[in-house]
A and B are shown apart, each in its own frame.
Chain A
Amino acid sequence: MKIGIPRALYFYVYYPMWYGFFSSLGHEIRLSIPTNKEIINLGVSHSVDDICISVKVFHGHVKYLLNKKDLDFVFVPRIASEEKYKYTCPKLAALPDLMKSAFVNDADRILTATFYTRQGDKLIIDAFEEIGRKLGDTEERVKKAAKVGIKYQDLATKALRSGHTFLEVVKYIKNLEELIKKPVEKKRYTVALAGFPYDVYDTFTNGDVISKLEDSGVGIVTTDMLDPKVYRHYSKYMIKDLFWYQANAAAKGGMYYIDSSDIDGIISISSFNCGISSIYQKLLDLYSKEIGKPVMHIIVDEQTGDAGLATRIEAFIDLIRVKRGDGLVSQENNLHGTEDGVHVRSV
C-alpha cells in the first residue's frame, strides 16, 4: 500500500519510527514535498484563520497528499502524550479530528492512531497494532515492524545527541549508523536554537534560519539534541513544570544553553499565534535577564519576508562577535561578498 506522510509537525520528531515501521511492513512511503508557497496557500485556504501557522502548514501538506489519488492513506497520528503525565498542545491532540472536519470528503483516507511515546515500548506497539489492523497486516508482522520502528527512533535520538540536526537524520535515514559516526564540525561561534522541532526545522516557514547561520560561519545546536536529564533541575526555577514535553524541552533546554559557556547566544523560533511558545519565551526572557546572554525571538507567519529576517540575523551575529571581542565582520573575512558577510539566498 502507498502511505503519504505529511512533512510537518511531528514528522520532525518521529519520522524515523514511522519510516522503520512502514518500510519493514513493505508499504511504500511517500513524503510530501518540503513546504513551499503552494503548500502554505493550500493550508491557509483550508483552515480557520486564527490557528497557528504550523497547523495551517500541516493542513497544506495533508491536502497536497490527499490530492494524489494513488495514495491509499495519509498518515495523521495523534500524539497524545510525550512523557508520563505530560500532554501535547490541544490543537495537536485534536489533530485527526481537525483533519477529518477540514477534509470531509477524504475522511476515510486519513490513517490515524493515538501514540503515547517515551512511556515504555508497550504503548507504542499498541498504537502500531491499531494501524496494522487498519492496513490488514498480521499481528506478528506488525509487532516485529513496531520493534524495528522503535530501533530506528533510538538510532535517530543517538544521532541527535551526537550533534546532528534532524534534517541530516531525514537525509541519512537509510544508514543512521554512518551518521552517528560522522564527526560534527566545531565552529568559532555557536548559536542555540530553542523551539519546537517543527518550527526550527521547517526551513521555508522560518526563512531558513539554519542555513543562514551556517553560511555565515556560525555553528548551531538545537534543544532536541539535549538529553532531558541534563536540564531537569530547571523545574525549580520554573516553579511548576510546563504540561507539554516539547515546551519543557524548549524552555529548559534554552535555559541550559543560556547557562553553558560555549554557547554565544540563543535564538528562539516560534510560529505566530502559538500560545505555548509565548510562555517559554517569557521564561527565557526573564532568565536571560538574570544571566546576561543575548536571546532573540523570531516569530514566523505566512507573510515572513526574507530580507527583514536576514537583517535581524546579521545584527545578532554582529552582537555575538562584539561580545566575544572580535569586532564586526571585516572585508577580508567576508566570504559571501555581501555588505555584512551574511549569505542571502534567493527564494
Chain B
Amino acid sequence: MSRKKITYTVPRMGYTYAAFESFFKILGYDVIIPEPTNTETIKEGVSNSPEYMCFPFKILLGQFERVLEKNPDRYFKVVSLESYGPCRFGYYSPLYYKILRDKGFTNFEIVNIEGIYPPLYKGIPRFFKKLIKLTGWHAPWTIVKAFVIAGWKVYALEQLEKKLYYLIPREKVTGSTEKIFNAAVERIRNAPNKVKSIKKILNEELEKMEKNPHVERDDLPKIGLVGEAYILMDYSNNLDIEKKLAYMGVDVDRSLRVTNWSLDRIIKVKSHKAHMLEVNKGYLDFFIGGDGQESIMNTILYKKAGYDGVIQAQPFGCLPETAAKEILTKVSEDYDIPVLSLAFDEQTGEAGFVTRLEAFVDMIKSRRQMKKEEKKESVTVEG
C-alpha cells in the first residue's frame, strides 16, 4: 500500500511545538510548524474570520493560511484541538474548513482531536475514528512510543521554561540565561527519540542554567498568571508577558501549562472538577466551559500560596473569561489580592501594554513595602 505523502501542520503552543513536531516525525510524516504570531498572520486571520470571533481563532486561521499558501504542492492535515462544550472553542474546525474552502484552498483536510462527549455509544466510536484519522494506520506501539516521546519533550521544555523565568530576575548578566535557554530548546527539539537521551539533555541543560552566575533571593514580588489557555501558553500571543514580567524583577508563575492542562482535562477530569467546585464555592458553582472556572480557582489558590498579585490574560470577547472577569472583581475584593485583566486582540500595542504591566508591578511593590512597614510597626508596639 502506498501512502499519500501527507504533511502535518499543528498549532504552536509556546515552545512545546517541538514536542508535537517530533510526535508526527516518529510516525513518519513531514511537519511544517507555522511561524510565530506576527502582524502578517494576524492580518490574514482577521480579514477572513467573523468580526467578533475569538482572537485565538483568528491567529490560528492566519497561521494555517500562511502555511497553505506557502506550500501549494503539498497535501496538508491541519490538526485542530477542540472540546465539546459551551464555549466557542468547540466549533473551530468546521469554520476553518468552510472559510479555507471559501478562500479557494483545496490541498488540506482538517483533523480534530476532541474528547469523548455524550451520548457515549456515539461518542466512543467517534473518538477512535478521529484518532485513526489523526495518526493514520500504524502499529499501536509506534503510536505509544511517539506519544511517550512527545510527552517527555513537553515535560522537558516546561521544566526549562520554569527554570528560565526563575533565573531571569536573579541573573547577574541580563540576558545570559535566555541565551542558554534558546540553545537548550534547540537541543531538545533535535534530541534523538529516546527517553534516556531526552532526560540526559534536560539534566545537562538545567545544570548549565544553574551554573550561570546569579544571586539567590526570596524577597521578589510574586505574580500569578491566569486566563485563557491558548493566550497564556503561547508566548507570541501574549506579547511575551512572562519574560517581560521576569525582566521587571518579578517571580512569575503561569497557572496553565500543556501538561497540567491536558492532565486535568483528559485523565483527572472528575477530581479536578470536584476540587474546582470546592474552591469556587459561592463565586461560580457551575460549569461554564473554557478556562473561566480555572481562572477563578487559580486566583484564589495563588492568594493562598502567598502571591502578591494576579494577571488575567484573555482574548477580547472570550465568553467564559468575560464572565470570570466580572466575578474576579468580587474575588479580588474578598481575598484582598490585586487582579489586572488584560484583553488581547489584533490592536494590542506593545508600548501601552508594557506601561500597564509596569504600573501594576509598581503598585504591587509598594503594597509589599506598606505591608512590611505595618508588620514592623506592630512588632515594635508589641515589643
- Partner-B contacts on A (CB < 8 A): 47-48, 50-51, 78, 80, 85, 87-91, 93-94, 97-98, 101-102, 104, 114, 238-240, 242-244, 272-279, 281-283, 286, 289
Contacts and interface: CB of A to CB of B under 8 A. Distances in A.
Top 9 nearest A-B pairs (CB, nearest first) are: A87-B86, A101-B330, A278-B50, A239-B94, A90-B288, A278-B52, A94-B323, A282-B50, A90-B320
A94 B52 contact: no
A87 B289 contact: yes
B119 interface: yes
B117 A275 contact: no
A93 B320 CA distance: 10
B54 to A, nearest CB: 7
A282 B101 CA distance: 14
A243 B91 contact: yes
B76 to A, nearest CB: 18
B98 interface: yes
Contacts of A88: 86
Given A238-B94, A275-B54, 13 more contacts: A78-B286, A90-B290, A94-B292, A94-B320, A97-B284, A97-B286, A102-B326, A239-B97, A240-B90, A243-B84, A273-B317, A276-B88, A277-B52
Contact of B319 (A47, A101, A276): A276
A272 B316 CA distance: 12
- Highest count of chain A CB atoms <10 Å: which of B97, B318, B323: B323
Nearest to A47: B326
Nearest to A101: B330
Interface in B284-340: 284-290, 292, 316-320, 322-323, 325-327, 329-330
A273 B314 CA distance: 14
Interface in B326-377: 326-327, 329-330, 343
A90 B327 contact: no
Contacts of A51: 322-323, 326
Nearest to A286: B98
Contacts, number: 115
Of B94, B292, B325, chain A has the most CB atoms within 10 Å of the CB of: B94
Interface string B51-63: 1111000000000
Nearest to B329: A101
B155 interface: no
Given A50-B322, A51-B322, A274-B52, A97 B85 contact: no
A242 B95 CA distance: 11
Among A88, A283, A289, the one with the most B-chain Cβ atoms within 10 Å of its Cβ is A283
B216 interface: no
A90 B323 contact: yes
Contacts of A98: 323, 326-327
B29 interface: no
A240 B284 contact: no
Nearest to B286: A93
Given A102-B326, A240-B91, A90 B319 contact: yes
B73 interface: no
Contacts of B283: 97, 101
B11 to A, nearest CB: 19
Contacts of A239: 93-94, 97-98
B52 A97 contact: no
B50 A279 contact: yes
Contacts of A94: 284, 286, 288, 292, 320, 323, 327
A89 B317 CA distance: 13
